[in-house]
Amino acid sequence: MKKLEVIVAGGGIGGLSLALSLHQAGIAVRVYEAVRDPAPLGVGINLQPTAVRELTELGLADALAKTGIATRRLNLCNKFGQLIHDERRGLAAGYHWPQYSIHRGELQALLLRAVRDRIGDKNVQVGLKLAGFEQINARVRVRFTDRQSGSGPIDEADVLVGADGIHSAVRHQLYPVEGAPRFAQQTLWRAAVEAEPFLDGETIVIAGHFHQRIIVYPISRRPSGKILVNWICQKTVMDRAPPREDWNRRVTKQEVLATFGAWKFPWLDLPALIEQSCDIYEFPLVDRDPVEAWSFGRVTLLGDAAHPMQPIGGQAGSQAILDARALTRALSETRDPVAALARYDAERRPPMNGIILRNRNLGPEAAMQLAEERAPNGFAQISDVIPPHELDEIVTSFATAAGLDVDTVNTRPSYVPRDPSFPGSA
């Protein structure tokens, strides 16, 4: 029987994970990435244990361990750095797989290397942007544009997956009047900088409240003993219209220090981190409203193209990887690709739509907002401000709703049955 062929538009975290998964399942795949030289762009990203499990089943456990930091704790603090909630993460929380905080660009490079090794350079085309597609005679014909020459090839396959991010061209063709992403009236300033380890060197800190907060965590170890620290400063802005999201828009240190220059805790000198950062990026907090379908015949969406979400709980990258695995399972178990894409849509879209909406309501960081409202000048004991049962309810309800609780992650069956001959699948 002829092998199923899939075209993936977009070589980001989701598209590359899908290519590896499809290859593992014996499905032919070709990846088209708009950027000619995918340089290690971005700063920190988190991979939850559920996604690390999938990458481990794809033989990437060692590469991840060498590249990222296995996160052990999440600390929620008020704007003075006082501890509100200390939570174990990854292996320390009882998951069978670590949570990794990792440089997004290094993760993309690691995945790209594995994809090139496994499916061959000729099946990974860079510098080609999807321009449009048509479904004809049980095939999908896809047009690409070379960003330099303006012309480009046409390719054909049984299935097209739009893994082309928040400005997805595939989604735009399916939803032509959708318009720009929805702006949450918050701006994020982000950078990665080398520094001395803080706390235990393996902790994510979120401090502040809804209108002004920081997220700081290590993303890799340096031979000098220093760490690469990812920091994000987030604040509410009055502008209704966002600037266009561009992961590479830069701002000055002075602009960030004007708002966060006093955020110095006994264990973390944020102003010094800001001072030492070379490139600081600005990004508006955006998402999109849920849609009522991802799959249209032989075309579907994945990752940010399908469910662009606010980065609450560090989930966007992890959920893109789970999409890749669920789609691979559907395509390998369902003979008819149209039925497989419908099955994937039915399985993944409802929970992801739920997360998009829930992420508009803060998640576990709701505890920080509560502490700010009840004790704006700080507290002697957090239990005086938020009783333990109330705190517990806030922080656990999010993980359970997102399918991230320890039991679910540890005991669910594998998405793609393991092939013992596959690298690293033991």
Ligand X SMILES: Cc1cc2nc3c(=O)[nH]c(=O)nc-3n(C[C@H](O)[C@H](O)[C@H](O)COP(=O)(O)OP(=O)(O)OC[C@H]3O[C@@H](n4cnc5c(N)ncnc54)[C@H](O)[C@@H]3O)c2cc1C
> Minimal distance in Å, beta carbon 331 to ligand X?
18
Sign of CA dihedral 52, 24, 169, 279: positive
Cα(37)–Cα(339) distance, integer angstroms: 36
Question: In angstroms, how far is CA 154 from the centroid of its own chain?
Answer: 30
Residues that bind ligand X (CB under 6 A): 9-15, 32-35, 41-45, 104, 129-130, 163-165, 169, 247, 303-305, 311, 316-317, 320
> Minimal distance in Å, beta carbon 19 to ligand X?
11
For residue 172, the number of C-alpha atoms closer than 13 Å in the C-beta half-sphere is 12
426: burial class by Cβ within 10 Å (0-12, 13-18, 19+)? exposed
Which residue, judged by CB position, is nearest to ligand X in the bound state? Answer: 12
Q: Which is nearer to ligand X, 80 or 247 (CB)?
A: 247
Q: Which is nearer to ligand X, 43 or 193 (CB)?
A: 43
Length of the chain: 426
Cα(103)–Cα(222) distance, integer angstroms: 13
Q: Which is nearer to ligand X, 81 or 165 (CB)?
A: 165
Q: Is 69 helix (H, G, I), strand (E, B) or coil?
A: strand
> Minimal distance in Å, beta carbon 251 to ligand X?
15
Cα(315)–Cα(13) distance, integer angstroms: 12
Q: Which is nearer to ligand X, 76 or 215 (CB)?
A: 215
Q: Which is nearer to ligand X, 331 or 371 (CB)?
A: 331
Cα(93)–Cα(97) distance, integer angstroms: 10
Q: Which is nearer to ligand X, 115 or 316 (CB)?
A: 316
Q: Which is nearer to ligand X, 104 or 235 (CB)?
A: 104
> Minimal distance in Å, beta carbon 80 to ligand X?
26
Q: Which is nearer to ligand X, 32 or 344 (CB)?
A: 32
> Minimal distance in Å, beta carbon 61 to ligand X?
19
> Minimal distance in Å, beta carbon 122 to ligand X?
17
Beta strands 159-162; 299-301: pairing state? parallel
> Minimal distance in Å, beta carbon 311 to ligand X?
5
> Which residue has 């510098």 as its token pair?
127
Cα(116)–Cα(110) distance, integer angstroms: 10
> Minimal distance in Å, beta carbon 102 to ligand X?
10
For residue 285, the number of C-alpha atoms closer than 13 Å in the C-beta half-sphere is 24
Contact 336, 49 (CB under 8 A): no
> Which residue has 């979120």 as its token pair?
206
